[in-house]
DNA sequence: TCTGGGGTCCTAGGACCC
DNA sequence: TCTGGGGTCCTAGGACCC
C-alpha cells in the first residue's frame, strides 16, 4: 500500500530585500541604518534591521521620519526597481538549481517544493543552510528559509527563522517535536499568520484567540462561520494540512493596473490626459506581455485625501471596448473617453490610474464567431455546459457566471474557489456547433 | 394601481498580500 | 510642504433587463 506522500514546502525570503540589493552594490551601506523610499520619495518601503529596531513602520511617510533620521543618521535612497527585478531573477534561478518546482510568490520570496527530496530531517535543515550560503555567495543577498508541510506553516517557519537567532536563518518545523512546535507557536501573535491582517486579528482577539497556537487549535468549522472559507483553510494549513498547492506557472493576471500619485497637484484636463495616456501605454505593454485582450477599461482620478481642508473628489468609470483589444491606441482612446466623463474642473488632483479588466486570451475574431452560434442555440448550450460541468464536479457545484461577451465560458464554483474556465471547443460534442 | 424574482453590470469600498 | 504601487477576493446597492 502506497502512503499518500505528504507535502514539504520551503519558503525562501530575502531579508529587507530592497535595502539588501542596495547594499550588494554599495557595501559601505552595511551595518548602517538604511531606508528605501517609494515613488516621489513618499514613504519608506524597505527598512534595514537597524531602522526596524528604531520602530519605523513599513510605509511610514518619510517627512514624518526626518527628525529621527537626523538623530540616527538614517540613509534614505530612492528606489531602483530595475535593479531589484534583476536581482530577484538571479535569486530565483539559484533556487531552481535546488528544486525543479518553484513558485515565485513575490519579488523577494519563493516557495520551493522539497517533495521527495530528503526524508531525513537533518538533511532538510542542511539543505536550507546550503540555499542560504549559495544565494549569499552568488548575489550577496541574505535569505531566511522556513520549512513545513503547508505553505502557511512554511511562512510561519520563515518568520521564526528571522526572529529567533538560535535557528540561524533556517527553521524546519518538520524536525521539531510537536510539543516544541506548540510552545513556539503559543509565543507568536495571531496577527503574524499569513492571511490574518489588522482587522481580522482584532476580531480574533475579541474571541479570545490571541496566539498562532490559539488559532491552530480553534475549530475550523467555527472559524468558517465567522470569517468564511479562506479562514477555514488558513486554520487547516496551520494544522499541517496542505490546502494550497504550488503554482509554478504564474496564471495570467485578471486585471492590470497602472497608476501613480503626482509629484505636484494637477488641475487641468490636459495634464490628466497626458498622465492617463502614459499609464495606459505601460498597461497595454503588460497586457500584450501576457498575450491577453481586454474588453473594458477602467479609469479613476482622485484628490488628495490627506489634505483635509480641500474639497474631495473621487470617481471611476468603466468603458467597454467595442471588441476585445490589445492595441495601445484603442485602449488609450477608451481611457480618455472615460476621463472626459469623470473629469470635473476646480479640484486639485493627486492621483490617476487605469485598470484593464475583462482580460482573456481570445482575439476579436474568435469572439465574433462564437456569438453567431451563441445566438442560435443559447439555452441548449447553456444547459449543456452546466450539466457537463456539474457532472464533472458534483451536483450543483457550478454555475455559469458569464458567457455572452467572449468566446469563453466562465464557470464559478459555489464555494468561491478559483475560476474554472473552459473553451467552447472543450464542451461535449452534443452541444458544440 | 399593486406586485415579483431572476440575472448582469457598474461603482464603491473593505480586507488582505507583497 | 511632504503619506507607494500592484495585485486578489469579497460584498453591497442601484440601474437595467427579461
What is the tens place of the pLDDT at every residue in A45-89?
999 999 999 999 999 999 999 999 999 999 999 999 999 999 999
Q: Return the C-alpha torsion angle A117, A122, A127, A133, nearest 10.
A: -170
Say which nucleotide is closest to residue A108, CA to C1' distance. B18
Separation of CA A410 and C1' C11 in angstroms? 21
Q: Is the pLDDT of residue A207 over 80?
A: yes
Q: Given a cut of 70, is residue A350 above it in pLDDT?
A: yes
**Residue A109 contacts strand B, CB under 7 A:** yes
CA dihedral A79, A81, A86, A87 (to 10 degrees): 40
| Percent of the residues in chain A that have a pLDDT greater than 90, as a whole number | 73
Q: Which of A112-126, A228-242, A316-330 has the lowest mean pLDDT?
A: A112-126
**Low-confidence winner among A118-122, A128-132, A192-196, A424-428 (lowest mean pLDDT):** A424-428
The answer to whether residues A354 and A279 touch, using CB atoms and an 8 Å cutoff, is yes
Q: Which three cell numbers stand for residue A371?
A: 456569438
Determine the 3-state secondary structure of A220 from DSSP: helix
Q: What per-residue confidence (pLDDT) applies to A119?
A: 63
Mean pLDDT of A378-394: 49
pLDDT in tens, A94-115: 999 999 999 999 999 999 999 8
Q: Which of residues 320-359 of A touch strand B (CB under 7 A)?
A: 320
The CATH code of the domain at A14-83 is: 3.40.1170.60
Q: Which range, of A39-48, A68-77, A205-214, A394-403, averages the lowest pLDDT?
A: A394-403
Q: Is the CB of A351 under 7 A from strand C?
A: yes
Q: A364 pLDDT band (50/70/90 cuts)?
A: very low
Give the per-residue SS3 of A221-267. Answer: HHHHHHHCHHHHHHHHHHCCCCCCCCCCCCCCCCCEEEEEEEEEEEC
A261 CB contact with strand C at below 7 Å: yes
* Whether residue A378 has pLDDT greater than 80: no
Contact assessment for residue A130 and residue A32, using Cβ atoms and an 8 Å cutoff: no
How far, in Å, is the CA of A430 from the C1' of nucleotide B18? 46
Strand B contact with A404 (CB < 7 A): yes
Range among A128-142, A245-259, A320-334, A358-372 with highest mean pLDDT value: A128-142
Rounded to whole angstroms, the distance from the CA of residue A230 to the C1' of nucleotide B2 is 44
Where along chain A do its domains lie? 14-83, 98-238, 256-361, 365-431
Bases of chain C below 7 A from a protein C-beta are: 1-11
Position A394 scores a pLDDT of: 46
Q: How far apart are CA A352 and CA A422, in angstroms?
A: 35
Can you give the distance from the CA of residue A196 to the C1' of nucleotide B12 in angstroms? 24
Q: Closest nucleotide (CA of A191 to C1')? A: B16
Q: How far is the CA of A328 from the C1' of B12 (A)?
A: 27
pLDDT at A359 over 70: yes
Judge whether residue A381 has pLDDT over 90.
no
More confident residue, A405 or A388: A388
- How does the average pLDDT of chain A come out, rounded? 84
- Identify which has the larger pLDDT, A264 or A2: A264
The answer to whether A316 CB sits below 7 Å from nucleic acid chain C is: no
Task: Please give the CATH topology (third level) of the domain spanning A98-238.
Answer: DNA polymerase; domain 1 (1.10.150)
CATH of domain A256-361: 3.30.1490.100
Of the pLDDT bands very low, low, confident and very high (cuts 50, 70, 90), residue A118 is low
Angstrom distance, A336 CA to B5 C1': 38
Q: Give, in Å, how far the C1' of C14 lies from the CA of A55.
A: 45
State the pLDDT confidence band at A274, using cuts at 50, 70 and 90.
Answer: very high
Protein-to-nucleotide distance from the CA of A11 to the C1' of B2, whole angstroms: 63
Mean pLDDT in residue range A378-392: 49
Q: Which residue has the higher pLDDT, A104 or A397?
A: A104
* Residue A221: pLDDT band with limits 50, 70, 90: confident
Distance CA A333, CA A428 (A): 40
* Mean pLDDT lowest among A72-81, A274-283, A331-340, A361-370: A361-370
| Beta partners for residue A325, in sequence order | A294
Amino acid at each position: 500500500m502506497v502512503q499518500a506522500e505528504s507535502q514539504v514546502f520551503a519558503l525562501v525570503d530575502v531579508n529587507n530585500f530592497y535595502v539588501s540589493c542596495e547594499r550588494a552594490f554599495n557595501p559601505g551601506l552595511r551595518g548602517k541604518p538604511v531606508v528605501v523610499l517609494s515613488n516621489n520619495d513618499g514613504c519608506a518601503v524597505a527598512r534595514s534591521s537597524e531602522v526596524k529596531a528604531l520602530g519605523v513602520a513599513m510605509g511610514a511617510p518619510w517627512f514624518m521620519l526626518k527628525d529621527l533620521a537626523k538623530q540616527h543618521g538614517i540613509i534614505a535612497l530612492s528606489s531602483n526597481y530595475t535593479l531589484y527585478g534583476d536581482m530577484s531573477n538571479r535569486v530565483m534561478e539559484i533556487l531552481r538549481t535546488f528544486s525543479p518546482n518553484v513558485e515565485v510568490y513575490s519579488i523577494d520570496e519563493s516557495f520551493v517544493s522539497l517533495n521527495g527530496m530528503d526524508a531525513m530531517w537533518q538533511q532538510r535543515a542542511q539543505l536550507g543552510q546550503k540555499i542560504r550560503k549559495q544565494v549569499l555567495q552568488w548575489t550577496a543577498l541574505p535569505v531566511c528559509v522556513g520549512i513545513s508541510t503547508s505553505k502557511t506553516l512554511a511562512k510561519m517557519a520563515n518568520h521564526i527563522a528571522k526572529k529567533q537567532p538560535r535557528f540561524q536563518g533556517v527553521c524546519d518545523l518538520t524536525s521539531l517535536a510537536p510539543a516544541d512546535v506548540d510552545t513556539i507557536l503559543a509565543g507568536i501573535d495571531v496577527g503574524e499568520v499569513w492571511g490574518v491582517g489588522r482587522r481580522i486579528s482584532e476580531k480574533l482577539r475579541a474571541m479570545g484567540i490571541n496566539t498562532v497556537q490559539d488559532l491552530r487549535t480553534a475549530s475550523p468549522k467555527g472559524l468558517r462561520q465567522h470569517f468564511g472559507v479562506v479562514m477555514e483553510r488558513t486554520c487547516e494549513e496551520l494544522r499541517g494540512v496542505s490546502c494550497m498547492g504550488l503554482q509554478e506557472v504564474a496564471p495570467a493576471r485578471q486585471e492590470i493596473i497602472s497608476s501613480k500619485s503626482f509629484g505636484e497637484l494637477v488641475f487641468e484636463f490636459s495634464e490628466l490626459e497626458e498622465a492617463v495616456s502614459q499609464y495606459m501605454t505601460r498597461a497595454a505593454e503588460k497586457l500584450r506581455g501576457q498575450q491577453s485582450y481586454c474588453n473594458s477599461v477602467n479609469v479613476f482620478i482622485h484628490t488628495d485625501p490627506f489634505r483635509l481642508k480641500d474639497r474631495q473628489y473621487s470617481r471611476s468609470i468603466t468603458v467597454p471596448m467595442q471588441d476585445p483589444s490589445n492595441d495601445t491606441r484603442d485602449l488609450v482612446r477608451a481611457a480618455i473617453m472615460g476621463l472626459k466623463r469623470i473629469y470635473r474642473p476646480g479640484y486639485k488632483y493627486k492621483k490617476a490610474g487605469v485598470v484593464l479588466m475583462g482580460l482573456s486570451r481570445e482575439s476579436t475574431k474568435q469572439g465574433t464567431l462564437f456569438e453567431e452560434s451563441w445566438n442560435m442555440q443559447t439555452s441548449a448550450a447553456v444547459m449543456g455546459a452546466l450539466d457537463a460541468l456539474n457532472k464533472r464536479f458534483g451536483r450543483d457545484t457550478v454555475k455559469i457566471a458569464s458567457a455572452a461577451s467572449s468566446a469563453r465560458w466562465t464557470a464559478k464554483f459555489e464555494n468561491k474557489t478559483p475560476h474554472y474556465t473552459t473553451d467552447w471547443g472543450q464542451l461535449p460534442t452534443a452541444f458544440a456547433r
